[in-house]
Structure 1
Amino acid sequence: MIEILESGPFNTVQDLGRFGYRDIGVSASGAMDPLAVRIGNILVGNDENAAVIEVQTFPFSLRFQRRTVFAVTGADGKPQLEGSERLAWCAQIAEPGQVLELRQPPRLARSYVALGGGLDVPIIMGSRSTSLRGGFGGNAGRPLAKGDRIVVGEDPEIAMLPATGLAVVEPATALSDVFPALVDGVLPIRALPAGEHELFTKDGEAFWSQTWRISSRSDRTGYRLSGEPIKPVASIEMRSHGVVPGVIQVPPGGEPIVQMSDANTAGGYPKIAGVIECDLWRLGQARIGARLCFVRSTHAEARAVEQAVTRYVDDVKQTSRMVKRALQVMA
């Protein structure tokens, strides 16, 4: 059991998402930075899809009711346990009554708290993720609030974990050869031209060449981008069609919308591009007001990035297994 001591709007329980129900209007939800969730869960000995806490409004704090292994991943801030700074991207042990605090990170948007055993909230449509728009899943379909108590699943491996456990090099550093760094403060996001790209002709090139800013009207459903408007060569009427996270639509005003984790299940705006799946976590860590540009990618490049991420995750898994075997031998 954990008790929430301090929280803000939009801090929720999330896993990797709720899939297979878009045909009945249910969005996938799930973490905005799924890579951080996968690594955090591996560090504490969970299945990659175990439910975690997604923190995007700070400060945030919780109290542990029993001895618990935890890891904080995602944003670039140092968590504090009982007022003492601890490493992020590292398995840690909390004793009963201790308080974990997360403060506003320097650059990135979201932190994730993975707990050994996972958060034991009901599974709805195959997922523990919170759907804020639907009002279900996670913590009774709503954000976490002061006084909430969340059950944590049993963690049979905690007895063999060291007080300071396994740590990993965070993905942005470990995968710096496949994830390009910011250029003059602008985040490069790779995307593929989408179905209606040709409708924009010269404005299509303006989409790729200019710098966009994430608008304050953005949320988990979609990032609205501010910049020089782009418009199709002629007004068109389109039937609504299915959309997924990463799809970039252009409404009549000409400023694109990137569909995110709580993406609409259908929409009729023309699609100019789609963010490659492995870059979505970087977009999920971009703050309101951040600047970004879209880099035209290829299916081959998207596949190569996916393979690099898979190797990284597999390496973390293998290292985790080796540590557990060593601890079992020592025990």
Structure 2
Amino acid sequence: MMTVNEIRAPVHIQDSGRYGYRHLGIGHAGAMDVLALKAGNLLLGNDEHAAALEIALGSLSVSFSRDTVFCLTGAFYQAFLDGLPVHSYWRYSARRGQTLRLVRAVQGMYGYLCVSGGFDVAEILGSRSTDLKAAFGGFQGRSLQAGDRLRLLDGKTQAKRIGIAPPARPPRIRLLPAAEYTAFSEAAHSGLVENGWLLRSDSNRMGYRFDGAELPLQQPLEMLSHAVCAGTVQVPPGGQPIILMADAQTTGGYPKIACVAAADLGHLAQTRFGSTVYFETVSVAEARRLQQRNQIYLNQIRRIVEDAD
């Protein structure tokens, strides 16, 4: 069991997402940075899709009622276990009664608290993720509150302390041209990759909003609503792009100029509001290579853990 003592951040249970139901209007939810979630789970010897706590920027204090192995990944947090420093991308053994305190994220946006075995919440439509909009999944379909008590699945109670390197963050977010790419002007094509884009503070798990040069269409375009997914770069009439994220709606009617390469979506998620983001376009083949590199990184973690255990 884990008890939430104090919480000053949006915190909820997420796994790698709920897939196969978008045709029914059900989004996939899941971790904003799936690579970080998988890295933490593999470091603990969990299934890579196991549920963890996603913490956005702020503070969290939890206590363990049994011996538990845990780690933090994603955003780099200032954190302490009974006053002793805890470092991201290292695994630790907590004893019964100890308190883990996450003070603040010093780098990145979304941190993940993974525990050996994962969190014991019901699977709904194949996932333990919290769908915050529809209020189901995770822990009672909501963000956590002080006083909540979370059950843990069976897992290791002790493990050798080991650490892994965090994934390398690219200087630019890689994009693929989307369905309406050719409907945009040459100025829009060049402006998308030549200009910096300010990530607005009204961004959230549904979408990241950007301010920058206008991305004009060649001519006005009216579209029926159509299927969209995380990573889609939509351009509303104002010409400022919105990139759909983990809690994105299932349909939209804005033209799509690009889509974020799947391998880079977690990197984008870790960008702080108010930061400037730069993009570049890549081929489908290059996007696949980026995904393969992420898989190589996860396989390296598996080997490190196998050698340590």
Q: Report if aligned partners of 2:36, 2:73 keep a CA contact under 8 Å in 1.
A: yes
For residue 184 of structure 2, what is the aligned residue in structure 1? 200
Note the 1:244-255 alignment, pairs <5 A: 244-255=229-240
Structure 2 distance, partners of 1:171, 1:190, is: 16
Q: Report if aligned partners of 1:12, 1:143 keep a CA contact under 8 Å in 2.
A: yes
For residue 104 of structure 1, what is the aligned residue in structure 2? 104
For residue 171 of structure 1, what is the aligned residue in structure 2? 167
Q: Report if aligned partners of 1:8, 1:57 keep a CA contact under 8 Å in 2.
A: no
Q: Report if aligned partners of 1:189, 1:294 keep a CA contact under 8 Å in 2.
A: yes
Deviations 1:176-206 (A, max 9, x none): xxx534xxxxxx1010111111111122321
Shift of 1:303: 1.5
Deviations 1:208-243 (A, max 9, x none): 211111111110010011112222122211011111
- Helix, strand or coil for the counterpart of 2:198? strand
For residue 21 of structure 1, what is the aligned residue in structure 2? 21
Q: Report if aligned partners of 1:65, 1:96 keep a CA contact under 8 Å in 2.
A: yes
Structure 2 distance, partners of 1:40, 1:28, is: 20
Judging by fraction of residues, say which structure has more strand: 2
Deviations 1:150-176 (A, max 9, x none): 100111x335x23xx22111112xxxx
In structure 1, runs of 5+ residues without a counterpart are 173-178, 182-187, 325-331
Q: Which stretch shows the higher mean deviation, 197-206 or 37-46? A: 197-206
For residue 180 of structure 1, what is the aligned residue in structure 2? 170
Deviations 1:272-295 (A, max 9, x none): 000000001101101111110111
Structure 2 distance, partners of 1:167, 1:305, is: 23
Q: Which runs of 4+ in 1 moved over 3 A?
A: none
- Helix, strand or coil for the counterpart of 2:299? helix
Note the 1:1-331 alignment, pairs <5 A: 1-155=1-155, 157-159=156-158, 161-162=159-160, 165-172=161-168, 179-181=169-171, 188-201=172-185, 202-324=187-309
Shift of 1:117: 1.4
TM-score (norm 1): 0.90
- Helix, strand or coil for the counterpart of 1:42? helix
Q: Which stretch shows the higher mean deviation, 246-255 or 314-323? A: 314-323
Deviations 1:36-55 (A, max 9, x none): 11111111121111100000
Q: Report if aligned partners of 2:78, 2:104 keep a CA contact under 8 Å in 1.
A: no
Q: Report if aligned partners of 2:57, 2:105 keep a CA contact under 8 Å in 1.
A: no
Shift of 1:304: 1.4
Structure 1 distance, partners of 2:304, 2:188, is: 48
Shift of 1:9: 4.7
Shift of 1:107: 2.5
In structure 2, runs of 5+ residues without a counterpart are none
The residue type equivalent to 1:71 in the other structure is: C
Structure 1 distance, partners of 2:264, 2:59, is: 27
The residue type equivalent to 1:180 in the other structure is: P
Structure 1 distance, partners of 2:63, 2:19, is: 32
- Helix, strand or coil for the counterpart of 2:136? coil
Shift of 1:77: 2.5
Q: Report if aligned partners of 2:27, 2:247 keep a CA contact under 8 Å in 1.
A: yes
Structure 2 distance, partners of 1:91, 1:280, is: 25
Shift of 1:19: 0.3
Structure 2 distance, partners of 1:94, 1:282, is: 29
Shift of 1:312: 1.3
Shift of 1:322: 2.3
| RMSD, aligned CA | 1.3
The residue type equivalent to 1:116 in the other structure is: S
The residue type equivalent to 1:158 in the other structure is: T
Q: Report if aligned partners of 1:8, 1:144 keep a CA contact under 8 Å in 2.
A: no
